[in-house]
Structures are given as structure tokens and as C-alpha cells.
Structure 1
Amino acid sequence: MSTSEIPDESKLVSALARGINILNCFSPVQYELSAKEIGEKTGLPKPTLSRLLETLSEYGLIRYSDRLSKYVPGAGLLNLSAPVLQRMTIRQIARPLMQELADYISGQVQLVMGSKSKMCYVEIAQGANSKIYRPEVGVRMSISRTSTGRAYINSIPAEFRERYLIDLEKKYPGQRAWFEERLQDAANDLATLGFCRGHRDFHREIDAIAVPLRKPIDNEYWMFAASVPVYSEESKRIDEDIAPRLITLVRTVESSLGNPNYSI
């Protein structure tokens, strides 16, 4: 949790907060953790950790694997994610349009949601002949090194943008100046072209562009991105062909959501 997201501790229910911290220990690259590893990540005393692990296991949010001798995320987390995804009408509206574009470019089209200092995949369309790795829905993605992240940061209010930049400098000293330069490039691209470029900062072998919705939905910001391999023929026609199609997709979704607040 970044400093911009640390709430007033007097308002927290400590046991609930500790349980959430345990769940946050798991990630797409660390989805099997021993009690010792969880304890090291959370700093919780063993008796407290043991009670919380037992409670989370009882509710199916984690489970202990005898085969691995470790804890893994439980099916209960999937149950919790279902209503979150279901309420996002934008997914249902965008999905066929995304798939059509992904097939056309033989690449990948992504719908990403940003809130505070986090962004995650909400929908992913993989082209029939795409060679690009397909992440899972819900996986967090880089803000500073992607076209999608720059589209997001350029969309949020100035005060939140500044807070993110302060946190970035604390975590990665010296990176703020570089990122601000990329943000300015992205702002110029959005103003003149209607999309942001990725500059191959995250994956050197992938060309990516992103287009944000012009307004947030319930304080959540939405971006669409298209990715193709740099060695592909499609990479050569990003500006003149793929970008206009992605912009048209976004405007179509905006129109389908309704005006002026994209009520869903």
C-alpha cells in the first residue's frame, strides 16, 4: 500500500486489516506461501497469524495445501470477484468490439481499470494468431512503464497525479524526472493524436498504444490498449491504421455507456 493510500488507522478494524494484508501477500508470481513467509511479509506475531490463517481458511479465502505444505488462494476469492466483474457493464459492451480488433491486428486488446495507485486488467481479447502473452484478468500492471499507465496518470486530477509522482520518487529515487518526460510525451500524443505510445519501455518486443475514456465511471478510470509484436507487419501501421480503430472502439463504448456520466 502506498503512502497516498494509507488510511487513518483509528478508522480501521485491526483484525480485518490484518486479514486483508495476508491476502495481499499473494500475487500472480507468489501464489504459494508458507506460514513463515506470510509472517515475514506481514510482521504478524505467530499466535495472531495462526488465528487469522485459520479464519481465512474457514471462509475459503485461502487453503492449506498438504501437497505443497503451503497456503494458496482459495476459491472464495473467485466468489468475491464475480460481483465486481458483473457490475462492470463496460466489459459486456466492449468485449465483442475488442475481440474484433484483436483478430484484425493479430494482437491483443486490453481493457484496464485504474484506481488510486493501482491498475489492473479487467478484460483481455486475444487475436486468433496473436503471439503475445495473455495475462489473467485482475493482474496488476505497471503504471510508469506502459502506455496504459501514462494514459491513466494523464487522466486523473492533478493532486492525485502529484501524489503518485511523490510515491514513485520515494520508491524509485531518480525515476520521477524520466517519468514526467514520458508523461509530457503522452499528454502531447493525447492532445494531437488521441492516443498514448508505450515507447517499448515495458517490453522491448511489444509495440503498444492506449486510449482512455474521457470521463471516469464512479471515480474509476478506464483505458483501452492494443499491443502487437514489434517484428510484425501490424507494428508498421499502428499510427495510421490501428490507432484510429482503437479510438473508434473507445468512442463507440462511450456512446453505448450513455452521456454525460457514462451511467451504468
Structure 2
Amino acid sequence: MSEENQTNDQPVRRRGRPRQDIGAAALNEERPFVSSLARGLSILRAFRADDKVLGTQALAERTGLHKTTVSRLLGTLTKLGYLRYMPEYGKYAVSNQVLTLGYAAIGRFGFGELVRSHMDQMAAEGDCVVALSVRDGPDMMFVELVRRPTAVALNLNVGSRIPLAESAPGRAYLFAMGEEERAEAFALLAGIHGDAWAKEKRPALEAALSRMADNGYSDSFGEWVAGHNAVGVVLRAPMTGDIYTLSVGGNARNLPPEKLKSVHLPMLMRAAQEISALSASNF
């Protein structure tokens, strides 16, 4: 038999490890956890919407990392363009390159534009705040916001954070979580709230989740901030299934619970249904 026939008839042996599918590898829980990457991301997550600049000490306190580690990570993130060093302050600011990460997610399949059009329609009906939010640890963060001038006395903007347990967006998000993830969130909240968690916070939250199971929407009437009312629903992004919440809220004088439920809630529920349907068809 010729060498050529041997080559054609027998499988060719290749050196090295078998190639593993990248998607399967990403889902493999036994793959090593890259601590340096996690620490770098924790630096970026430590910046908040109202932070103009942050120094090494403040970032070390927020992340729990050693100052030497923080200093090294700041240097790397600055070289990559995600942070800017501000010599006049001797501190760091988040650069606009961070926006590329967020818009890559919310812009997928036109999801952001689709949601924004519905938010504009809802906000046009009265003095209210319409918000698209995602979870950030023990908080919810606004990633899109339509606000009317007289809606609230609070200083709310894109990037603002509100509490997970007491707010309508947070309660909707917790309701949409799987049991294991929700248990982890409860443990996080218990550590933050201490004794108040078992006595006040958890019972109120569980009652709110029970109402959402019955009614299909979350609510918070003066529980986050006195004089602020809101209702919220769950949205899921096409393809990934990522959880977002869509909420309407505002000053209780302009938006008592009865008005929220009779005027704004039907629009909110309809918007959520249409967004979900259109997102599914676009995918």
C-alpha cells in the first residue's frame, strides 16, 4: 500500500490538545476563574454616576483591594483607554470608552431604540419618570431615562443607582431572577441591612414579590423615598435573555397609586408586551 493511500485511509493524528468549542468552554463551570480580570472589572464598577474623579484610596475602600493592587490596575485600565488620569486632581475619571461596552449590549437588535420609543410615549402622558434599569449589586442602575421637569424632586439621571429591595425596578428584577440567584441577592442584602433585613426589609420585599406574582407588576409606594411612587415590569433582551426592568414613577402628589394604576400602568404593561413581541420577531 502506498504512503498516499495510508494517508487517505487513516485519520491524521494532530499534536496538542483537542480543540474545545469556545461557547461550550464559556459554560464550563470548572474553567479557572481569572481573578485579575475580576479585580479590574471591580475598579470600573466602583465608579458611580456622581463621581467626577476617584483616587487610589477611595477605590481601594470601595473594592476592598490593596492600594498597590489598585494602583497597578489603574495603570492598566488607563493604558487600555477605559480610564483617564486627571493630573490636576491626581485622580482618575471614567473615559467614554466604557460606553462602548454598554452600547454593545443595549444596541443589539435595536433593543435600545425600541424601548426608548415606548418610553417617550409613556412620558408624554404626564409628569413622570420612565426608566430602563439593570441590576448592579445591591442596587438598580438607570441605563435609559425619560424625565419630565416636575416629575420628582430627586436628582435622577442615567447612571443613578436606587436600592434593589425597596424600589419598583429592583423588586421587578428580583421577581424575574431564578431561585438560586435570588437567594444570593437576599444574602447580599442581609449583609448590608443587618438586623433591619429580617425585621423590616425582607418581610416588605417578600410581600411585594407576592403582589407581583398576583398582579404582574411591581410597586413601591413611598417605601424607597417618602413621597415617591412607582410601578415596574420585567423586560428580557433578545438572544441573551438578560433582565431589564421598565418602570414609571414620580412625585406622589402628581402620581398617587390610583393614577399610576389606572393611567400609567396599562401603558407600561402594553409597552412591555409589544417590546417583548417585537424583540422576539427581530431575533
TM range (shorter): 0.7 to 0.9
2:221 paired residue number:
199
**Residues 210 and 223 in structure 1, CA contact (< 8 A), matched pair in contact too:** yes
Instruction: Letter of the 1:55 partner, please give it.
Output: T
1:110-259 aligned at under 5 Å gives the runs 110-114=131-135, 119-127=140-148, 130-131=151-152, 133=154, 135-174=156-195, 175-213=197-235, 218-232=240-254, 236-258=258-280
Change (3 A) 1:55 1:201: same
Pick which of 120-129 and 195-204 moved more.
120-129
CA RMSD of aligned residues (A): 3.1
**Residues 110 and 124 in structure 1, CA contact (< 8 A), matched pair in contact too:** yes
Change (3 A) 1:149 1:49: closer
Instruction: Letter of the 1:127 partner, please give it.
Output: R
Instruction: Letter of the 1:244 partner, please give it.
Output: P
User: Which of 43, 46, 66 is matched with 2:87 structurally?
Assistant: 66
For 2:43 and 2:225, locate their aligned partners in 1 and report how far apart those are by CA, in whole Å: 30
1:218-239 deviations in whole A, cap 9, x for unaligned? Answer: 2422221101211126665122
Instruction: Letter of the 1:164 partner, please give it.
Output: A
Which TM-score applies when normalising by structure 2?
A: 0.75
For 1:35 and 1:27, locate their aligned partners in 2 and report how far apart those are by CA, in whole Å: 15
Which TM-score applies when normalising by structure 1?
A: 0.80
1:35 CA displacement? 2.9
Change (3 A) 1:35 1:117: closer
Change (3 A) 1:153 1:88: farther
**Residues 195 and 210 in structure 1, CA contact (< 8 A), matched pair in contact too:** yes
Unaligned 5+ runs, structure 1: 1-7
For 1:184 and 1:37, locate their aligned partners in 2 and report how far apart those are by CA, in whole Å: 35
For 2:214 and 2:234, locate their aligned partners in 1 and report how far apart those are by CA, in whole Å: 14
Change (3 A) 1:226 1:40: closer
Q: Which has the higher contact order (CA 8 A, sep 6+)?
A: 1
User: Which of 45, 60, 65 is matched with 1:24 structurally?
Assistant: 45
Unaligned 5+ runs, structure 2: 1-28
**Residues 154 and 187 in structure 1, CA contact (< 8 A), matched pair in contact too:** yes
Task: Work out whether 1:86 is the aligned partner of 2:102.
Answer: no
For 1:104 and 1:231, locate their aligned partners in 2 and report how far apart those are by CA, in whole Å: 16
For 1:115 and 1:36, locate their aligned partners in 2 and report how far apart those are by CA, in whole Å: 22
Aligned-residue identity in percent:
22
For 1:239 and 1:207, locate their aligned partners in 2 and report how far apart those are by CA, in whole Å: 11
Pick which of 102-111 and 239-248 moved more.
239-248
**Residues 49 and 158 in structure 2, CA contact (< 8 A), matched pair in contact too:** no
